[in-house]
Structures are given as C-alpha cells and as structure tokens.
Amino acid sequence: MTDSQPARAYRPATTLVHGGTVRSNFDETTEALFLTSGFVYANAEQAEATFTGTEQHFQYSRFGNPTVAMLEQRLAQLEGAPACRVTATGMAAVHAAILSHVKAGDRVVASRALFGSCHWIVSTLLPRFGIQTEFVDGADLAGWRAALSRPANLVLLESPSNPMLEIVDLRAVSALAHAAGAIVVVDNVFATPLLQKPIELGADVVVYSLTKHSDGQGRVLGGAVLGSEKWINEVLQPYIRNTGPALSPFNAWLLLKGLETLALRVQAAQNSAGSLAAWLVRQPAVARVWYPTLVDFAQRQLAAAQMQGGGTLVTFELRGGKQAAFSLMNALRLILISNNLGDSKSLVTHPATTTHMRIGAAERAKLGITDGVIRFSVGLEDVEDLREDLAAGLAAIASAALPTPAAAG
C-alpha cells in the first residue's frame, strides 16, 4: 500500500476529499473497500512480531481494517485531532468514550440537554456500576461551577443540544472540568466538525454520530471518537478492541464517500436553515424560533464565539401545542416526518411524543420541550420548495383551528 498523504495540512474541503487515502498496488482512484474480517501473515515470525507490536500489520477487522483506517485518518485530519477510532454507531462511540474512562466510585457531570440515549447512559446505566452522576443546566455556568467544585472524572455535554439548540460555553466548562480533574467529552453532532472544533476550545474528546451529516444521505450508521494519541491508544483502544463495537468496512467506505461532499452539503443546508429560521420568526402561528444566528437567540454571542455558523437544524414552537404541531406535520408534502437528522432530505420530528417521550413531562419541562415544539432538520431541497411546504403546513393549523361548517351550523 502506498501512503499518499499530503505533506501539509489542507483546508477542510480538500481534506474531506483526500484525507487518509492510502492506495493499494492497483493504484485505484477511489478508496478501496477491504471487505475482509481477517488478514494473513507471510510466516509464523511475522504473526509473532505483529502480536508483540514490533511489526505493523493488520490482524483482524475488530481491531483495525485498511478501509476503516482511512476513514479514521480523514476524520482526525478534519478535526485537527491527533487520533480517531470509529464505531458501528454514534451510541457505541459515546458509550465507549465514557465506559473506557470511568470506574466504580467515579463521578460524571453532564448537561441535562442530551440526546435521549446519552441521557439514559448517564441517568440509568452508569449508576448501576457505582458511578455517581449529576446533571446540570448546560447554559448555567454557576451550575457547572457548583457541580465541578467537587472532584469529578468525566464531563459529557452536547452543544448545540438536541432539540432546543442550547449552547454550552466550551472554554469555561473545560477549564472548570480540568480544575476538578475531569476530562471533557463533547458530542459535536449538531455542529459538525466543520462548524465547531471542541478540542481547540479546551475539550479533550469529541464524539460523533457519523449517521448524521457525515453519511448525510440516510444510508448507514456510524460513530467516531477523537482525542489525543495517548488517550485513544491507551484508554479507548483496549476497550473497543475487546468489546467489539467495530464499524463494518463497507459502512466505512460509504462514510468516506459521504465525507467528500460534507462541506458542500452542510453549507447548502445551513444557508436554507438560516433563511427559513428568519422566515418562521415572522409567521403568526409560530411562538418562538431557536437558531444560533437569529438576532433574538438568547445565546447568540456565545454561539458566534465558538461556532462558524448556525448549523442545519432549526427548532420552533407553535402557539397551538400538540394539535397545531400534528396539523402542521400531517399537512407537509415534501418535508418528511422522521426522528433522524442531518440528512439530504428535510425531516421534522415532534420531540415530546418521540425522541423525548421517555424522559417524562417533568424533565421535558426543565428542557423547554413543550408540546408545540418541532425540530426541523433542513436538507438539500430548493429552499423555496421547503418554504412553500412549511407555509402549507402553517395554513393547515389555521384551518384545523376553525370550527367545521357542521359544528358552526
């Protein structure tokens, strides 16, 4: 295999196309798909040398695979992180990043506004193993300061958060966490590696669901963990090597192809998201809109200080609660109802009855997830078609609210 890595770091759009590419003896243009579970050795001595670590040779695809390694290299270069390991799903990445680092008696502090399964790991799974956990309101620095005034081992947070796009001050929380003895793990799915670089802002570990924008075309699941060479190799790698959340080489290959267009896709969807967010603000049926670059977004300055754009998700609240939300969603013809996000197809979800149903009404109230809230993942369709679809959805709320002729009669 020929390592065709550039001598210097390129800009993100270039890295997304070329980063990590290693060509085989056939000199293929595109990254080769090594759909193999195992590898063979020339002789017994080479096998021994591989296992003792004196020779670099692929051993087994649960530990490493050439196609998977190209994806890891590309993601590491894009993030500006020294090392990366990919996993079969985003949740496998979050789970491995946490469980590889903590043990019984440790303390984990997390922002309350987390992706549903991340919330379950912190609230339900970790305490079973004797790990203390505490949630704080991610936007409240005083809350972080109080929680991190005692020793801690790991901080988990999401910024912007799902679905209310709450911004956590990554620089300030990282400093507080480090002073408490904790590493900071940031779930950076909503920002994507293009719009926010948590490691530059002080975080230690960044996790992704590659299912979202990285594939971005609704085909495969995948996850990634990025951090220092030492932490990835000494803490994470033994955990994932022995517990087996390995990504399929086929899915890694699709993700390599997905990444080639990531910058184009995120830019286009973000342009539409910004335009539609500003338009939604002016619609009478809409009570509130959350989008990081909107003039009246409460954490706009913090978002601008740590993000390069508003992203591809818009959250809005309808005045008419659940009934209005369902009327709008059911009237959409182009925008699809799906709990996925970061796709080329625009998707809406009603968090209170789907992704955030299990956490219960009290926890939803703390997070601001009312029955009128809709999460809108903006895709790659023509923005005017999306606007017309939303307008039809909003019109349907108005007509559903009118008395029917019979009732009026």
Indicate whether 119 belongs to the interface with ligand PLP (CB under 6 A): no
CB of 122 to ligand PLP, least distance (A): 12
Stretch of residues binding ligand PLP (CB under 6 A), selected from 148-156, 204-212, 240-248, 391-399: 204-212
Measured between alpha carbons, how far apart are the two ends of the chain, in Å?
79
- Size (the chain), residues: 409
CB of 243 to ligand PLP, least distance (A): 16
> Residue 61 or residue 209: which is nearer to ligand PLP going by CB?
209
> Residue 246 or residue 397: which is nearer to ligand PLP going by CB?
246
Distance between CA atoms of residues 129 and 106, nearest Å: 10
Q: How many CB atoms lie within 10 A of CB 257?
A: 13
> Residue 187 or residue 343: which is nearer to ligand PLP going by CB?
187
Distance between CA atoms of residues 286 and 187, nearest Å: 29
Element at 229 (helix H, strand E):
helix 229-231
Indicate whether 65 belongs to the interface with ligand PLP (CB under 6 A): no
Indicate whether 209 belongs to the interface with ligand PLP (CB under 6 A): yes
Indicate whether 187 belongs to the interface with ligand PLP (CB under 6 A): yes
Stretch of residues binding ligand PLP (CB under 6 A), selected from 57-65, 205-213, 377-385, 389-397: 205-213
Stretch of residues binding ligand PLP (CB under 6 A), selected from 90-98, 275-283, 346-354, 358-366: 90-98
CB of 187 to ligand PLP, least distance (A): 5
Indicate whether 189 belongs to the interface with ligand PLP (CB under 6 A): yes
> From the list 78, 83, 91, 378, which residue makes contact with ligand PLP (rule: CB under 6 A)?
91
Nearest by Cα to 134 from 109, 158, 160, 152: 109
Distance between CA atoms of residues 166 and 299, nearest Å: 8
CB of 405 to ligand PLP, least distance (A): 44
> Residue 72 or residue 187: which is nearer to ligand PLP going by CB?
187
Structure tokens at 299: 């954490």
Q: How many residues bind ligand PLP (CB under 6 A)?
A: 16
Query: What is the chain's Cα-based Rg?
Result: 23
Nearest by Cα to 278 from 239, 310, 236, 235: 310
Looking up tokens 């005017």 gives 384
Indicate whether 196 belongs to the interface with ligand PLP (CB under 6 A): no
Element at 86 (helix H, strand E):
strand 83-87
Indicate whether 212 belongs to the interface with ligand PLP (CB under 6 A): yes
Indicate whether 115 belongs to the interface with ligand PLP (CB under 6 A): yes
CB of 323 to ligand PLP, least distance (A): 27
Element at 208 (helix H, strand E):
strand 205-209
CB of 261 to ligand PLP, least distance (A): 19
44 burial level (CB within 10 Å; 0-12, 13-18, 19+):
exposed
Indicate whether 223 belongs to the interface with ligand PLP (CB under 6 A): yes
Distance between CA atoms of residues 126 and 19, nearest Å: 36
Supply the angle between the helices 262-281 and 383-401 in degrees, to the nearest 10: 40
Indicate whether 90 belongs to the interface with ligand PLP (CB under 6 A): yes
> From the list 65, 67, 89, 346, which residue makes contact with ligand PLP (rule: CB under 6 A)?
89
Indicate whether 162 belongs to the interface with ligand PLP (CB under 6 A): yes
Dihedral sign of CA atoms 37, 39, 44, 48 in order? negative
Element at 287 (helix H, strand E):
strand 286-290
Q: Which residue is nearest to ligand PLP (CB)?
A: 90
Using CB under 6 A, list all residues that contact ligand PLP.
89-91, 94, 115, 118, 158, 162, 187, 189, 209, 211-212, 221, 223, 341
